[in-house]
Structure 1
Amino acid sequence: MTEESNSPMTDTDSTTTGPLVPEDITADSPFTLPGFFDALSEGRLMAARCTECDTHLLPPRPACYGCGSRAVTLSEQPRTGEVISYTSVNRPPSAFDQLAPITVAVVELDSSARLTGRVAASLEDVAIGDRVELRVCDPEAVDIDPDFDLSYEEEWPIHVFELL
């Protein structure tokens, strides 16, 4: 897994238009969590965008949670954004115990899509409005306990925001 540089948000071609019927959704679809993490492990941060109401869906989903439409498309997102909310998690899930306390933030990416993730900084060092950049890494490099992974999560990368 490699870190990629920022890439501009670009809509993908029509072959990545969301499934219009539930039967079109497969386990490896880019509109599912496994598909999202597959793209992330390749260095691409993907989001869906509803073509009806312009809601960003990150991670991507096959239908808009704003208006219910299945008219969604995929686009690559920038890795930079701004902290809009943050907190400290003192009792994280077991796999993250050794990292506690964990600073978690909601980040509005430069595309206006929002993503929640861990910030590689202490709570005292983070503020609303801070600029951050997403870094993708292997779970072993972050010292996450693999014994707590579900079988389908074993290959999923971890995303961490770093202060700029």
Structure 2
Amino acid sequence: MTVEQVAVGRPLPELHGLTKQFYAALGEGRLDFQRCTTCQRWQFPPREMCPRCTTETLAWEASPQTGVVFTYTVVHRPLHPAFAAVPYVVVGVQFDSGPRLMGRLIGVSVDEVEIGMPIRLATRIDSDGVPQIEFERTSR
């Protein structure tokens, strides 16, 4: 995973509680998801208990940073000035560990994106110090 500094005036996530832990790991170059210590299920978004077995014994574990595109959309009309450079692609990614996450696809033209495309996480740190979730194509 590459982590680089960029200047972006984008809306920021609220960094508190479990969300803060998730973004702190991203800022250190890791993709950490919660994993139930009882049934071993990975989960995202972070929660206080496992939805499968209802235990509250969850641990943060590093996940593989690779997966595949399971859905995508091409944005032609930005909803915020920070995202004015259109068109761009937002992808839903199924990670090899199981959880799903959405983010912007970089380095791939709108015509090249496809369901099943192998990707990897490519996090950038914005000017406010908050990681920006992006993905780039990779080979398997």
1:130 corresponds to which of 94, 104, 117: 117
Runs of at least 5 residues in structure 2 that lack an aligned partner in the other structure: 4-14
Work out the CA distance in 2 between the residues paired with 1:157 and 1:95.
18
What is the letter of the counterpart of residue 123 of structure 2?
A: V
Query: Partner residue of 1:34?
Result: 20
User: In the alignment, is the contact (CA less than 8 A) between 1:36 and 1:59 conserved in 2?
Assistant: no
**Greater shift in the superposed pair: 72-81 or 96-105:** 96-105
Structure ranking higher on relative contact order (CA contacts 8 Å, 6+ apart): 2
Q: Deviations over 1:81-130 (max 9, x none)?
A: 11111112233441533232221111111212221111112332111111
2:91 corresponds to which of 86, 105, 113: 105
Work out the CA distance in 2 between the residues paired with 1:91 and 1:65.
36
Query: Partner residue of 2:11?
Result: none
- The two structures have a TM-score, normalised by structure 1, of 0.65
User: Would you say how many aligned residue pairs link Structure 1 and Structure 2?
Assistant: 126
Instruction: Quote the sequence identity (%).
Output: 33
Question: Once superposed, what is the RMSD of the aligned Cα atoms?
Answer: 2.5
The 5 A counterparts of 1:78-89 are: 78-89=64-75
Work out the CA distance in 2 between the residues paired with 1:67 and 1:39.
26
2:77 corresponds to which of 91, 94, 99: 91
User: In the alignment, is the contact (CA less than 8 A) between 1:46 and 1:58 conserved in 2?
Assistant: no
Change in 2 beyond 3 A, CA 1:130/1:162: same
Q: Deviations over 1:31-67 (max 9, x none)?
A: x111211111011111012345544223433223455
Query: Partner residue of 2:133?
Result: 159
More helix by share: 1
Work out the CA distance in 2 between the residues paired with 1:104 and 1:57.
21
Runs of at least 5 residues in structure 1 that lack an aligned partner in the other structure: 5-26, 141-153
Structure 2 counterpart SS, 1:111 = coil
